[in-house]
Structure 1
Amino acid sequence: MTSMSRSAALVAVSVAGLVLSAPIVHADNVTATVPVGAGPTEVAVAPDGSRVYVTDYFDAAVTVVDTATGTVTATVPVGGYPTDVAIGPDGSRAYVTNSDDGTVSVLDTAAGTVVATVPVGAGPEGVAVTPDGARAFVSNYDGGTVSVIDTRTDAVTATVPVGRLPSEVAITPDGTRVYVAEQGSNAVAVIDVATATVVGSVPVGDGPFGVAITPDGTRAYVTAWDSDAVSVVALPVNAVVATVPVGDRPFGTAVSPDGTRAYVTNYASDTVSVLGTAVDAVVGTVVVGDSPSAVVITPDGTRAYVSNYDGDSVSVVAIEP
């Protein structure tokens, strides 16, 4: 995956039609499947857990799902080929990367409308908002940079050169560091938020794409698409302390609010691997829809929402206590 964009890689694997043996049965299970738009790529949840936002890649839109009813309540047009979405800490704004347009759409979540469009770099891929809501960091997959957006003015204030094909972005809970998976460099770039400069690089598995950080800020989980594994990075020392084999073509990842589990979407296995963070091993596997790409967990830790790229749906997974 190191030489392909997100969409090209997803299509290539879909055509390949790879199949694995039956997964391990786990207590976490799918309780509902919500139809959304075409090519759902990423998911984000509102801070109060009331809504889930899904980027529909081929529809140039964001689908809004009510988590109480499991139904679609709105579809918001955005830019071309939206790839990622992040919600600000107060829930009033959503930031959507439009890979075809080189822009970020800023959504007013109450009104369900785009209130600003911010030009960034080439092929924007991932986005994350700092805990204080002051800045959004956007990886530019085709540009090899990260754009820093001032959320008060909706303008780019800095552009940070990073490695090849930067993909997903995660920010530490204290808001001091940004971790960017560099798919073409087999590494994770570490950016200092205060200075908007790269202060470190962590070698990880082949084709890193997704990255998530534990709530206590001591671990980062990085999916390695070409290694069929997850690299576990100790923070802040920035060293890999474990490599966990998962399913075929791991893509997205999220950590539970209590920090005990990491969830990893296996794109070519149609499964989600559940990792126990205390043991850094797979403790369960959940069968979901076709070509799962991303996962997000509700703030109360009771449900996971998984976007199924080829299924045009979102799987709702009940998480056991």
Structure 2
Amino acid sequence: MKEMKRAETRCGYIFILEIMVLAFLMLVSIAGATPFAYITNYGNDDVSEIDTVSVIDTATNTFITTIDVGRGPTGVAITPDGSKVYVLNSFDSTVSVIDTTTNKVIATVDVENGPIGVAVSPDGTKVYVTQCRDEDGNTAISIIDTAKNKVTDTINIGHYDSLGDIAVTPDGKRVYVLAEGGPTSVIDTATNTIIATVNVGSYPGGIVITPDGKKAYVANGYNNVSVIDTATNIVVATVSDRIGSVSGIAVAPNGSKVYVANYGYGANNIYDGGGNISVIDTLTNKVTVMVPLGKYTYGVAITPDGTKLYVANDYSNVSVIDTSTNKVTSTVNIGTRHLGIAIGNKKVQNVSHTTPSEFNSLLVVILILYIWRKSTKI
């Protein structure tokens, strides 16, 4: 009889251990079910959120944590596997590297001059960072090796006021670089040399390339968007109707739409401090709808499934837009002076990100299984 009871006790311990392991795996699965958004908080000297990155869970549109980075964070990009976030610190001339499993800075990379734009290669091995001009008026791109988190190469672009945003083609073979006071440069990534230049509009501020790699959309500061045929590197269209003072741009995962953030837009394209999103149909290159938002819209990013668009409103909050209805469905209040935003792919996050409701659900499951075990006397 005693041996039987001991055996039952051992079985009970084993059962509980099995349930604990199952619960842990479920926690990890739940935590990694949705991508997270990373928003830079440029801040002001009189606010506590200065020089940080805020993290939002895109499943619940809730604030997760704040990460301290360098001074004046602006641009942000995430590796394709979602494991690392690269944040540009404009005042420090550095790049902060964040591990997304812990949301901690694991490295700081020095670049020569104030970083402006950032893009990650499709294979995740390289990060391209554009910079301001140096004392001699030269502009350049720093290439960071993501395995070492060190600058391994530099590409000289030319004498311009400054470089701007940057984008890599889906096949990783070409890089498109914007310049203030100059043309858009096209770089062959195999040789790191400029193979073409394209004249676009004035003060280009953002660029995206369609998922099929056939077109590049350049958001120009003065009320238009240039469309580049990447096969010929010629501007084939200019979208100007219902485009304001452009500050950010994103493309849908299926390539059907391009979303343009207008920093300030009023009647007859007169700046009024208001903000909205212009939605461009990439088949017709026409604006089909405008979505009104808060003041000073800036950075913009879309979820991997294309269902939600996140817009960083410079002096206020983050707006969430349902892309099927083009309506604002949520507003997240975090930090201040939001300039950059990026959304990662699905990945396993720290299990501490599991919400209380999810954890309570797991406890209910464990309790039911425990009662069933006792009732069947297994």
Q: Give the shorter-chain TM-score range.
A: 0.7 to 0.9
1:301 is displaced (CA, Å) by 0.7
The answer as to whether partners of 2:167 and 2:175 remain within 8 angstroms in 1 is yes
Deviations 1:39-74 (A, max 9, x none): xxxxxxxx9752100011121111000011111101
Report the residue type matching 2:233 in the other structure. Answer: N
Whole-angstrom distance in 1 between the partners of 2:112 and 2:195: 21
Q: Which of residues 226, 231, 235 in structure 2 aligns to 1:240?
A: 235
Secondary structure at the aligned position of 1:278 is classed as: coil
The answer for the alignment partner of 1:172 in structure 2 is 169
The answer for the alignment partner of 1:319 in structure 2 is 323
Deviations 1:96-141 (A, max 9, x none): 1110000100100111111000001211011111010110000102
Whole-angstrom distance in 1 between the partners of 2:84 and 2:66: 15
Whole-angstrom distance in 2 between the partners of 1:151 and 1:67: 25
Q: Give the 3 Å change call, closer, same or farther, for CA 301–110 of structure 1 in structure 2.
A: same
Is 1:94 aligned to 2:99, yes or no? no
Is 1:162 aligned to 2:147, yes or no? no
Report the residue type matching 1:277 in the other structure. Answer: T
The answer for the alignment partner of 2:28 in structure 1 is none
The answer for the alignment partner of 1:85 in structure 2 is 76
The answer for the alignment partner of 2:57 in structure 1 is 66
Deviation beyond 3 Å, 4+ runs, structure 1:
none
The answer for the alignment partner of 1:146 in structure 2 is 141
The answer as to whether partners of 2:34 and 2:59 remain within 8 angstroms in 1 is no
Whole-angstrom distance in 2 between the partners of 1:254 and 1:81: 23
1:320 is displaced (CA, Å) by 1.1
TM-score, with structure 1 as normaliser: 0.82
The answer for the alignment partner of 1:271 in structure 2 is 276
Instruction: Give the structure with the higher percent helix.
Output: 2
Whole-angstrom distance in 1 between the partners of 2:180 and 2:205: 6
Deviations 1:20-47 (A, max 9, x none): xxxxxxxxxxxxxxxxxxxxxxxxxxx9
Whole-angstrom distance in 1 between the partners of 2:62 and 2:132: 32
Which has the higher mean CA deviation after the structures are superposed, 157-166 or 62-71?
A: 157-166
1:180 is displaced (CA, Å) by 1.1
Report the residue type matching 2:163 in the other structure. Answer: P
Whole-angstrom distance in 1 between the partners of 2:104 and 2:66: 9
The answer for the alignment partner of 2:298 in structure 1 is 293
The answer for the alignment partner of 2:180 in structure 1 is 183
Q: Give the 3 Å change call, closer, same or farther, for CA 281–49 of structure 1 in structure 2.
A: farther
1:189 is displaced (CA, Å) by 1.1
Secondary structure at the aligned position of 2:232 is classed as: coil
Whole-angstrom distance in 2 between the partners of 1:284 and 1:128: 28
The answer for the alignment partner of 2:96 in structure 1 is 105
The answer for the alignment partner of 1:43 in structure 2 is none
1:159 is displaced (CA, Å) by 1.1
The answer as to whether partners of 1:105 and 1:117 remain within 8 angstroms in 2 is yes
Report the residue type matching 1:239 in the other structure. Answer: I
Q: Which runs of 5+ in 1 are unaligned?
A: 1-46
The answer for the alignment partner of 2:328 in structure 1 is none
Report the residue type matching 2:239 in the other structure. Answer: V
Report the residue type matching 1:161 in the other structure. Answer: N
1:251 is displaced (CA, Å) by 1.4
The answer as to whether partners of 1:273 and 1:282 remain within 8 angstroms in 2 is yes
Report the residue type matching 2:200 in the other structure. Answer: V
Whole-angstrom distance in 2 between the partners of 1:49 and 1:172: 25
Whole-angstrom distance in 2 between the partners of 1:294 and 1:181: 17
TM-score, with structure 2 as normaliser: 0.70
Tell me the percent identity. 45
